[in-house]
Structure 1
Amino acid sequence: MIQRFIELGEGYGDFYELIELALSNKQRVHHLIQIETTIKEQKRASLAVVLQPATKAGFMPIYFCREGISIHSERVSERIRVFNELAETIHKKIRYLEVRPSADFPEKDLYQQYLIGVLRVNHCIPPLNW
């Protein structure tokens, strides 16, 4: 099985595209994931939607918006609130993970391979021979 990240941008339009992808494919949603990290002493979140493979081709897409949301202890971000509402709407629980920031990796592909490993270890995505 091929498991690959499909990165959307960090803006509001990209976030709402992620939400629409989940809503229009709700029967395929495997997991909703909030990936947290710290960048320059600021907590940031990436939001991800993991979809089941559409066919026997074995391609499992992981759509995500990388590190674009600030996490503040005193108030909940509007995008995180909408992501929580999405989880309620499609009857899925959000998985929370803490990872290293993407800036720790010289290439985006290396960061995504690292995340795939983290997702596998935490049973958010199945092993390759699934």
Structure 2
Amino acid sequence: MSSYVTDVSAAPSEIALAHFEARLTFEADCWDVHDAMRRGLKDFVLLDVRGPDAYQKAHIPGAVNLPYGKIIERKLSDWPKDTLFVVYCAGPHCNAANKAAVRFARLGRPVKELIGGMTGWADEGFPYAHGVEEGQLEQVA
């Protein structure tokens, strides 16, 4: 007798390795983002892709706000084409980060999704910021 866990065998190691390495090319986790930002490593742009009202209410410190529907090349022109954007939204129940990632990919821009978004950030116990941060993009309606 076996459990539901073992009813389907685990993938061979080389296939598992390819799968999990590939996932890391699409995702960043909250701890890694927090650690990089805490240490001042600015090798990516953290982008909150929710609307301006949600951003002002609470967002991840250091994040730039650009709603996913407003992601166009003109809005990204201040960043070099090889800039990595890490996008997030409200959390696992929200697909705005996925929609933003699609837009970045269509524009030929590197992108990763922040796993868990705002919910994941809160689950890690990290603080939120409020209002609009200095250096913020123009507010878009």
TM-score normalised by structure 1 residue count = 0.31
- Answer with 1 or 2: which has the greater Rg: 2
TM-score normalised by structure 2 residue count = 0.29
